[in-house]
């Protein structure tokens, strides 16, 4: 599947893709996917799950990701620990 933004993947994602997608979201190098709704506490960064993206603060979801995001070059262990940090926050 291809759009003007390049190749895409669609949910459901694999467990490995979820790790990479969330690693991408938590990296400071790229702008993450965010919920279109402005939440007062600022938690708008979408969280990747096996079933697609979800907003931590509302019912918004999204089913696609850029294919490069699913292979985001960070170690899986780094991604998992970063995800735990994010969920704690
Ligand atoms: Zn939201």
Q: How confident is the model at residue 76 (pLDDT cuts 50, 70, 90)?
A: very low
Assess if residue 23 is contained within a domain.
yes
Examine the pLDDT at 69 and tell me if it is beyond 80: yes
**Strand ranges across the sheet with 6-10:** 2-3, 6-10, 64-66
Assess if residue 1 is contained within a domain.
no
At residue 72, the pLDDT reads 86
9-45 pLDDT, tens per residue? 999 999 999 999 999 999 888 889 999 999 988 789 9
- Per the CB < 8 A criterion, the answer to whether 43 and 19 are in contact is no
| Ligand 1 mean position, distance from CA 54 (Å) | 8
Assess if residue 2 is contained within a domain.
no
Residue 76, domain extent: 7-34+44-88
| Ligand 1 mean position, distance from CA 46 (Å) | 8
| Ligand 1 mean position, distance from CA 59 (Å) | 6
């Amino acid at each position: 599947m291809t759009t003007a933004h390049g190749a895409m993947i669609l949910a459901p994602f694999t467990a490995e893709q979820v790790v990479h997608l969330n690693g991408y979201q938590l990296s400071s190098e790229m702008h993450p996917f965010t919920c279109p709704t402005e939440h007062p506490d600022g938690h708008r960064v979408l969280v990747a799950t096996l079933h697609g993206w979800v907003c931590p603060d509302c019912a918004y979801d999204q089913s696609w990701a850029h294919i490069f995001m699913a292979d985001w070059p960070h170690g899986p262990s780094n991604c998992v620990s970063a995800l735990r940090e994010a969920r704690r926050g």
